[in-house]
Amino acid sequence: MKSIKGPALFLAQFAGDEAPFDSWDAITKWAAECGYEGVQVPSWDSRLIDLDKAAESRDYCDEFKGIAKNNGVQVTELSTHLQGQLVAVHPAYDDAFDGFAAPEVRGNPVQRQKWAVEQVVKAIKASNNMDIHAHATFSGALAWPYIYPWPQRPAGLVETAFDELANRWRPILDVAEENDVDICYEIHPGEDLHDGISFEMFLERVNNHSRCNMLYDPSHYVLQALDYLANIDIYHERIKMFHVKDAEFNPTGKQGVYSGFQNWVDRAGRFRSLGDGQTDFKSIFSKLSAYDFDGWAVVEWECCLKHPEDGAVEGAQFVRDHIIRVTEKAFDDFADGGTDDVANQRMLGIKS
């Protein structure tokens, strides 16, 4: 068995214009001071990383990793959550998602999609330059506006959407194969890949591509009332990345999964800082360890109540307390009788 690595921290929710969150050097020092051993990097944030240079220059990547190492943390993965979202955008969301793109392609869905693909490809190449073999992203969504079938969806609508989604991602997955990088889609409401069934629909259309994998985040399953422990049993071979994020789901007589358009603090389903929600992390860490997951346990802080810096500090210790140092021997080895093939046959009554 293998031990999970960690704790690590996804920096997307912390990067900002004020110190120590405004530069790569400062934010990695801060993460280490919070107790983290690794950081996951939002590749779209130019305050932290120059993605163009990272895709082209191993020297730049060595320097980038070196700054982090000198400050006490490793670079665990790069993320293209925002750019991946733009690989597939339904027109209903054009205005909402335009802000994720570079200014020169806003208002032009065709050029925006082309830019998004180029960004994901650059991040894959940058991952290779950093000797990192897993990459976090979103799938984007073409079918999401039709998630609840009213009016009834016309025949073939969802199938056409997933065919197109696969067509857009298959060349990217091939680039990932060339660069020895697994694409880990965060299974997330709002994306066409939002649960196991939708992931399987996509996986089938990319011909079970070996680089098509999952970012496991149980918080998104808690809010869907999905069995997040059974999900590990089913998909453990495809789970190549792990976000440690907590959530709670408290339906009432007035609201359930959809939460009646309420803000986060008033929803039935809410993201919480680690340990403040309902997620059974002891069982999650146990299952992942039993299935030999040896990737990073990456804290993604999202909470409707707690201050992010408090959540970050508490999260590092929470993960450290849950990582299982796996055993190298069986607990009953002390009773090993030292038998051999002949003795085994004798014990079974088999004549040699």
Ramachandran assignment for 107, one of left (phi > 0), alpha (psi -120 to 50 degrees), beta (any other) = left
* Sequence-distant (≥ 6) Cβ neighbours of residue 150 within 8 angstroms: none
Mean pLDDT of the chain: 96
pTM of the predicted protein model: 0.94
Average of pLDDT values for 140-168? 97
**pLDDT tens track for 187-204:** 999 999 999 999 999 999
Query: Residue 121 belongs to what domain range?
Result: 5-348
71, pLDDT greater than 80: yes
Please tell me the predicted confidence (pLDDT) of residue 211.
98
Token digits of residue 333: 């080895």
Residue 291's Cβ-count burial label (10 Å; 0-12, 13-18, 19+) is middle
Q: What is the CATH number of the domain that holds 241?
A: 3.20.20.150
Token digits of residue 239: 């789970």
End-to-end alpha carbon distance in the chain = 35
334, pLDDT greater than 80: no
* Sequence-distant (≥ 6) Cβ neighbours of residue 13 within 8 angstroms: 300, 301, 302, 308
**pLDDT tens track for 237-255:** 999 999 999 999 999 999 9
153, pLDDT greater than 80: yes
Q: How far apart are CA 87 and CA 28, in angstroms?
A: 30
**pLDDT tens track for 120-131:** 999 999 999 999
Domains contained in the chain, number: 1
| Nearest alpha carbon to residue 130 among 122, 140, 138 | 122
C-alpha Rg value of the chain to the nearest Å: 22
